[in-house]
Each structure stands twice: as structure tokens, then as C-alpha cells.
């Protein structure tokens, strides 16, 4: 089974620029997650989709971050404008369902550096 695909793996931008990350989950997984992992910290959930609907986006900085999951498959996370503190690894994960008992499969992540 193919894993969770993410691109790009690395991105360097200057502050106030914009960036977009793409995620393709495991086929058949209804739930998709975006996590932010700042260096030295554990992953923090930004947004969770169930099919193409948002389940939880309470920790998404909505003034600069947006995410969509059109057609309930691929997802895109956008940051505009970027700030220095957005430097992090953005991890996409997927699971069959969205309950607390679910096992998440993670992609390799997209590392963002904001200068």
C-alpha cells in the first residue's frame, strides 16, 4: 500500500511570502490531518478533515493559514503571509476514521524555513 505523499519536502521563503503544501493520503482513508511540528516540540494539530468537511480547525491561525480538501482526497495547506514563527515541519497524516482510537499514518513532512 502506498503511503501518505507530501510535497514539497523542503521550502525556503522570506517572511510575508506565501507557500502551499500538498498531501495525498492513503487510498480509502476518510480522515486527513495537518500537524505543525516546531523544532524540539511534538506535533500540534492544525486541522482535521473527515472526507471533505472540517472536523476541527480550532488551532489553525485562520488569519494566515488555510486548508482545503476538495473531493475528499488530496489536501492543500496554504500560508499567506508567512511569519518567522511558521518555520516548522508540516506533517500530513490520514486514518480510516476520525475517532480517538484511530491509528494515523504520517507522511515524511514538508520542512518550511521562513527567513
Partner 1 sequence: AQSVTQPDIHITVSEGASLELRCNYSYGATPYLFWYVQSPGQGLQLLLKYFSGDTLVQGIKGFEAEFKRSQSSFNLRKPSVHWSDAAEYFCAVGMDSSYKLIFGSGTRLLVRP
Residues 7-66 that bind partner 1 (CB under 8 A): 31, 33, 40-45, 48, 50, 55-56
Q: Counting contacts by CB under 8 A, is residue 108 touching partner 1?
A: yes
- Concatenated DSSP letters for 38-78? -TTS--EEEEEEETTEEEE-TTS-TTTEEEE-GGGS-EEEE
- CA dist 106 to 17, 35, 52, 56, Å? 27, 10, 19, 18
Least distance CB 113 / partner 1 (angstroms)? 14
* Cell numbers standing for residue 55: 472536523
Least distance CB 33 / partner 1 (angstroms)? 8
Q: Counting contacts by CB under 8 A, is residue 99 touching partner 1?
A: yes
Q: What burial class does residue 93 get, using C-beta atoms within 10 Å of its C-beta: 0-12 exposed, 13-18 middle, 19+ buried?
A: buried
Least distance CB 48 / partner 1 (angstroms)? 6
Q: Counting contacts by CB under 8 A, is residue 101 touching partner 1?
A: yes
Binding residues for partner 1, per CB under 8 A? 4, 31, 33, 40-45, 48, 50, 55-56, 91, 93, 98-109
Amino acid at each position: 500500500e502506498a503511503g501518505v505523499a507530501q510535497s514539497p519536502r523542503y521550502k525556503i521563503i522570506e517572511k510575508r511570502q506565501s507557500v502551499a503544501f500538498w498531501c495525498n493520503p492513503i487510498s480509502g482513508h476518510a480522515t486527513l490531518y495537518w500537524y505543525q511540528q516546531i523544532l524540539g516540540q511534538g506535533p500540534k494539530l492544525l486541522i482535521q478533515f473527515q472526507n471533505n468537511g472540517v472536523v476541527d480547525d480550532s488551532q489553525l491561525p485562520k488569519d494566515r493559514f488555510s486548508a482545503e480538501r476538495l473531493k475528499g482526497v488530496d489536501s492543500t495547506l496554504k500560508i499567506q503571509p508567512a511569519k518567522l514563527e511558521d518555520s516548522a515541519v508540516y506533517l500530513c497524516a490520514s486514518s480510516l476514521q476520525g475517532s480517538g482510537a484511530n491509528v494515523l499514518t504520517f507522511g515524511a513532512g514538508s520542512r518550511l524555513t521562513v527567513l
